[in-house]
Each structure stands twice: as C-alpha cells, then as structure tokens.
C-alpha cells in the first residue's frame, strides 16, 4: 500500500514537472498569447542570485542575453562568494550589451544594460562597516546621549552610511534565485524590503520560458500593492479578482480577474 502511494506521488511530481517544462517551451515559442506582451517597463531593477557552486559564466552570459532581448535595462548579479565579481571583466567582455553600473547611476532607460556585481561583502559586511561609520560620526558630534531608549541613528542615516561604504544600490523590484535552495543567500538585506522573490531552480536547468513567466508574474502582481507599501500604506487590494474589478482599471484587468480570485 505504501509503495503504491509512493509511486502515485512520484508520478504526480513527474507529471507536474512535465507540465512545467511543456509550458516553458510553449512560452519561449511565443505560442501562449498571455505572455507575448510583457510590460517590461515595470521592471526597473532586476537582481539575479546564483549559488556560487553553480556559477558558470556561459550560463550567466546566456541569461543576460535573454534579459537584454526582453528589454531589461538594469541587472544586479549576486553570488555569495563573489565569483561573478571576479569574472566581471570577462562577462562584460563576452556580453557586448552592458556597462558597469555606477553607484550614482539613475535608473533611466538607456541603450545598454547596466550590470552591478555584488557578493556577501556588499551585504552584512557592508552593514557592519556602515555601523562603524555611523558610530564615528556619532563620536565626532560630541553627543552626550547614553540613554538606550533614545534614538541616535535613523534608517536614512544608515542608508547614507551604506552609500559611503559602497553598499547601498537600488532596491530591486524582482529577485530571481537560481540554485537548489529557495533562499536569497545573503543578498544585501537592506535593499530587499519589498522585493518580489522567485525561485527559478538550478542555473544549469534555466529555461527562457520560465524566465518570461517569472517576469510576467511580477508585472501582473505589482499593480497597487507595493506602491502603497513603499509609501508606508500597506494595502492588500491588488491580488483578488473582486478588488481588481473594483479598481478604475477594471476594463483592462478584467480578463485576468479569474486568475486572482479565490
């Protein structure tokens, strides 16, 4: 009986994998109408997290080419050990369509993709350095405050300190994780408050169709929710069919309502 159950579940998993692979194939061939037009302008900054052990520059360059074809303009490549950072020059040389992201770059539409390379040192280590910067400023200010309850630092001061140590880039709208584990592997935490996170599986098994689907899902979800959340007004209107029908953009979104309604 247990063996039968085991086999049944194994077959279900197999069927799901086949279905996903087929869907990905149909998407990449442009046969699924829904995915044909992506509102790529909604994706201002994309982060790609790759497990260091799976970093193959050939796969990375192919992935960047797909993103360039889709019109993605700003990408941050992250792996914990900094393998991609070390291969930065090689990647930029092999992938013609990109320039290195400069900290003061504004996220505008531009002909070439900008690439940022990040690693663990830009995450927790940068925050520790920023803490040191804040402390030195605090000492210099001559403040006599020693009351633990009093606020001596603010979030914006931390943001500025992170910029000083080179650890504060833009907050990605979407973060794609390529690897076996469904976690962001230490991507600079300060920058992912409201970032949409999607797990894509191992890099070696990446599929163009899956990439399109992930970006499509992001562009459809972003509607109202995150904008209000970033303004400090958390609302939960954007995901349900009922709420979308009530919005002023109902005619445009009505065809998607059944996908979101419970």
Interface positions, 179-238, toward other proteins (CB under 8 A): 180-187, 189-190, 192-201, 217, 220-221, 225-226, 229, 232-234, 236
Distance CA 194, CA 44 (A): 14
Q: Min. distance of Cβ 111 from other proteins in angstroms?
A: 31
**Ramachandran bin of 76, using left for φ above 0, alpha for ψ from -120 to 50, beta for the remaining angles:** beta
Pick the closer one to other proteins by CB: 24 or 114: 24
Residues 78-137 that bind other proteins (CB under 8 A): 80, 123-125, 127-128, 130-132, 134-136
DSSP annotation of 147 reads -
Number of residues in contact with other proteins under rule CB under 8 A: 72
Distance CA 158, CA 78 (A): 22
Pick the closer one to other proteins by CB: 83 or 98: 83
Length of the chain measured in residues: 262
Pick the closer one to other proteins by CB: 9 or 252: 9
Q: Min. distance of Cβ 108 from other proteins in angstroms?
A: 25
Pick the closer one to other proteins by CB: 93 or 230: 230
Q: Min. distance of Cβ 96 from other proteins in angstroms?
A: 31
Say if residues 50 and 204 touch (Cβ distance below 8 Å): no
Pick the closer one to other proteins by CB: 77 or 220: 220
Residues 6+ apart with CB under 8 A from 72: 40, 43, 46, 113, 215
Among 60, 243, 244, 253, binds other proteins (CB under 8 A): 243
| x/- track of binding to other proteins for residues 134-153 (CB under 8 A) | xxx-xx------x-xx-xxx
Q: Is 97 exposed, middle or buried (0-12, 13-18, 19+ CB in 10 A)?
A: middle
Task: Tell me the CA distances in angstroms from 167 to 122, 131, 193, 227, 260, one per residue in order.
Answer: 5, 12, 15, 24, 37
Residues 27-56 that bind other proteins (CB under 8 A): 51-53
């Amino acid at each position: 009986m247990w063996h039968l159950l085991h086999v049944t579940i194994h077959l279900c998993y197999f069927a799901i994998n086949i279905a996903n692979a087929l869907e990905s194939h149909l998407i990449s061939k442009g046969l699924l109408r829904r995915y044909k037009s992506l509102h790529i302008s909604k994706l201002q900054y994309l982060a790609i997290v790759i497990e260091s052990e799976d970093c193959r520059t050939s796969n990375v360059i192919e992935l960047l080419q797909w993103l360039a074809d889709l019109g993605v303009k700003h990408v941050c490549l992250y792996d914990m050990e900094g393998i991609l950072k070390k291969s930065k020059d090689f990647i930029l040389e092999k992938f013609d369509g990109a320039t290195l992201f400069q900290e003061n770059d504004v996220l505008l539409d531009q002909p070439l993709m900008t690439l940022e390379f990040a690693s663990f040192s830009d995450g927790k280590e940068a925050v520790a350095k920023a803490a040191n910067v804040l402390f030195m400023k605090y000492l210099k200010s001559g403040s006599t405050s020693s009351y633990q309850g009093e606020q001596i630092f603010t979030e914006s001061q931390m943001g500025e300190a992170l910029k000083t140590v080179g650890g504060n880039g833009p907050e990605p709208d979407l973060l794609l994780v390529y690897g076996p584990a469904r976690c962001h592997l230490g991507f600079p935490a300060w920058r992912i408050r409201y970032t949409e996170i999607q797990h894509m599986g191992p890099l070696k098994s990446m599929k163009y169709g899956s990439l399109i689907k992930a970006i499509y899902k992001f562009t459809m979800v972003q509607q109202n929710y995150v904008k209000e959340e970033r303004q400090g007004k958390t609302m939960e209107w954007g995901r349900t069919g009922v709420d979308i029908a009530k919005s002023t953009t109902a005619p445009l979104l009505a065809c998607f309502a059944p996908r979101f309604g419970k």
